[in-house]
Amino acid sequence: MVQEAFVKGYRALGSFRTGAAFRPWLLRIVANETHNLRRSWRRRTTLELRMALRPDDADPASPEQSAVAADTHAVLLAAVNTMPHRDRLVLTCRYFLDLSEAETAQVLGWPRGSVKSRLSRALDKLRRALPSHLAEEVTRGRPQ
C-alpha cells in the first residue's frame, strides 16, 4: 500500500505546488491510499500505528531501561489502538509521525482548528485509558 502511494506520488509530481511542503503532500497521498484500502477491505487499518513500532534511534543505557521503554510503548499502543479511528489518526500524525498541527491538518484534510480540538479530546481520552504514571507523561503533551 505504501509502495502504491509512492508510485502515485511520483506520477503526480507535476501537480505538486512549487514552494509547498513536500512531506505533508506525500503523506496526504499515503492517507488517501489508506482510506481507499480501508473502504475496499471494509475493515480497520492500523498502518499508521505500525510506523510507531519502529525501534527508537537512541540506544537505552541499560537492558532495564530498554525493557521499561518496550513495556511503556506496548501499553501506549494498546491504548491508542482502542480509540476511535479519527482519534487514532490525529494522535498518529501529531505524535508518532511528529507532524506539526498545520502539517497534520494538511495530511488529514481537516481545518487546523479541528485538529486542535480533536487532538485535545483524543489526549483526554488517552489519559483516561492509561495507567496514572503514563497519563502524567501525556499531560506534559507528548504520549511517548
**Location of each CATH 1.10.10.10 domain in the chain:** 49-144
Q: What is the CATH number of domain 49-144?
A: 1.10.10.10
Question: Is residue 131 predicted with pLDDT exceeding 80?
Answer: yes
With a pLDDT cut of 90, the percent of the chain lying above it is: 12
**In the structure, what pLDDT confidence band is assigned to residue 70 with cuts at 50, 70 and 90?**
confident
pTM beyond cutoff 0.75? no
Those residues with Cβ within 8 angstroms of residue 89's Cβ, 6 or more apart along the chain or in another chain: 31, 48, 108
Can you point out the beta strands (E) in the chain? none
Find, among 105, 107, 98, the residue nearest to 142 by Cα: 98
Segment 18-37 shows an average pLDDT of 85
**In the structure, what pLDDT confidence band is assigned to residue 125 with cuts at 50, 70 and 90?**
very high
Question: Is residue 138 predicted with pLDDT exceeding 90?
Answer: no
**Residue where the block lists cell 498502518:** 47
Query: What is the tens place of the pLDDT at every residue in 30-55?
Result: 888 877 776 654 443 333 444 444 44
Cell of 2: 505504501
**In the structure, what pLDDT confidence band is assigned to residue 99 with cuts at 50, 70 and 90?**
confident
Diameter of the chain by CA atoms?
Answer: 50
From first CA to last CA, the distance across the chain in angstroms is 26
User: Any idea what DSSP says for residue 97?
Assistant: S
Those residues with Cβ within 8 angstroms of residue 105's Cβ, 6 or more apart along the chain or in another chain: 111, 112, 114, 115
Find, among 34, 28, 32, the residue nearest to 16 by Cα: 28
